Structure 1
């Protein structure tokens, strides 16, 4: 039998009577895991469900992994752990669905109802038709991947983060990009379009083909990553194959290429700003993933660039 005392790292209204003692009659310190402690704590305080809990050693803010046993973190019978309320949680799948739904709502509204937003009618140019199709297909692909492809090492995130994460897609990739791309500036009779390369079907088709290659390649790398992690696990393995032989994060590289095509085709400041901010965020994620791979797999991890082939 093992007894553990749980105290509050910070005061929480979900468990006002802490510290509390949890008993595990069928466990030893070698078999009792942090996940077991979370489940038992949630049984005592139902609103404090496991994904909302951050369990750490008393006096230490470091998160203890769910699979860690008490013995592995140096604890014995009667030890004390601290719990912190991470706030209301939401699944990563739901987060991404919310993020990508913004552009899928905003772009059709501005494209099909220009008189509402520009106080004039807009005869759409071929460029605008291409951009509209590319943006819609991109975010529909994102929704498909969120629902049927991606597998996440962390099941949830704080609900409050949804608003922060959605800003990039709803405002920059939604409102700002749509308002610029479907405006009279890019209309069929605009001087910015007529007689320029942006009115050349061959240029537009060429850009669309590069974009299509980038989108399909991005999907392929996501499927490769999905297949490395069996459903319901946190398994990590070294990815190989298309895209991964040169860089750690080819999915980010192909994402950048796809949006670069939109930027070149339109020349829109809004598109460039969306690309630059997105690239900055992906670069941070890529560096973190690259470090984690090297730390976890050591010399077994192949020598690769981080996100841009032959460059970085």
Structure 2
């Protein structure tokens, strides 16, 4: 196939240096369209959304699709939108989990300033701190070394909204009420309940890590293609990673006996349930009859 010329039109805010036309190989990869526009406009390729002028459908930014496969032909129009400053999803996750990772030790070791008490932390408060720190250290490790992200970036301004859930509910909310001198954790522990909580936390965290590794291995590096996940929990619910995360937090709740932990679990479960249902619909659409449909998104027999 020969070269074709595409008409480039700005959509929304003006884009400086946006070319009026670009020339691409019809049998070349579709990602060359995004790259040529990014090079000319001097914007990050992730900051630009390219859609077909004819029907507004996105033009794939992938090496698996050719320009001809997108339906674009000579003199076709494409619209380019500036999405604004972007931030990588990996950075977003690091910032989200960094909040609780810093807040819990600060509140725990700053009890004299925050609560005006000289009373030392109890054994339960110490265990609660260890569990929370271990959880978010694991999250940071997974973000840096396990997770692969289907989308490279998101609008930078959204980082505040995304971080609020973790910084407020699992950070300030959880830490303030767990390490207070009047908190249930300040009293004596029931060894049976405490050790049960620690066991649930450990099992939940390890199986959650296992499911994340399974999901990672479904996608080839540098692609967004996914396979059908199989393994422990995947035959019961759509997202066993969410289920095992809830199990680990139930473990924290049994140790801390704090209502704030329960509030965080309920809010997190509601959000993860919505994500799980969305993923179930995507699996059914993407894999059809090859995919074994699930009745429950995250909690077997419940939700």
Shorter-chain TM-score: what band?
over 0.9
Partner residue of 1:177 out of 174, 181, 189: 174
Query: Secondary structure at 2:51's aligned position in 1?
Result: strand
Q: Distance in 2 between matches of 1:145 and 1:32?
A: 32
Q: Distance in 1 between matches of 2:108 and 2:90?
A: 28
Q: Which runs of 5+ in 1 are unaligned?
A: none
Residues 246 and 63 (structure 1), Cα distance of their counterparts in 2 relative to 1, 3 Å cut: same
Q: Distance in 2 between matches of 1:16 and 1:152?
A: 29
Residues 122 and 4 (structure 1), Cα distance of their counterparts in 2 relative to 1, 3 Å cut: farther
Cross-structure match for 2:105 = 108
Deviations 1:170-192 (A, max 9, x none): 1111111100100011377x5xx
Query: Secondary structure at 2:50's aligned position in 1?
Result: strand
Q: Distance in 1 between matches of 2:206 and 2:280?
A: 23
Cross-structure match for 2:11 = 9
Q: With the length of structure 1 as denominator, give the TM-score of the two structures.
A: 0.90
Q: Distance in 1 between matches of 2:195 and 2:155?
A: 42
- Does the 8 Å CA contact 1:151/1:226 hold for their aligned counterparts? yes
Cross-structure match for 2:138 = 141
- Does the 8 Å CA contact 1:5/1:81 hold for their aligned counterparts? yes
Report the Cα offset of residue 246 of structure 1.
Answer: 1.2
Q: Which deviates further from its counterpart, 58-67 or 77-86?
A: 58-67
Q: Which deviates further from its counterpart, 137-146 or 168-177?
A: 168-177
Partner residue of 1:300 out of 290, 294, 298: 290
- Does the 8 Å CA contact 1:93/1:147 hold for their aligned counterparts? yes
Q: With the length of structure 2 as denominator, give the TM-score of the two structures.
A: 0.93
Report the Cα offset of residue 161 of structure 1.
Answer: 1.3
Cross-structure match for 2:150 = 153
Q: Distance in 2 between matches of 1:2 and 1:37?
A: 11
Matches within 5 A, 1:194-209: 194=188, 199-209=189-199
Count of residues in correspondence between the two structures: 298
- Is 1:56 aligned to residue 51 of structure 2? yes
Q: Distance in 2 between matches of 1:229 and 1:103?
A: 30
Cross-structure match for 2:37 = 41
Cross-structure match for 1:22 = 22
Cross-structure match for 2:208 = 218
- Does the 8 Å CA contact 1:210/1:258 hold for their aligned counterparts? yes
Q: Which runs of 5+ in 2 are unaligned?
A: none
Query: Secondary structure at 1:308's aligned position in 2?
Result: coil
The Cα RMSD (Å) is 1.8
Q: Distance in 2 between matches of 1:246 and 1:187?
A: 35
Q: Distance in 2 between matches of 1:166 and 1:62?
A: 31
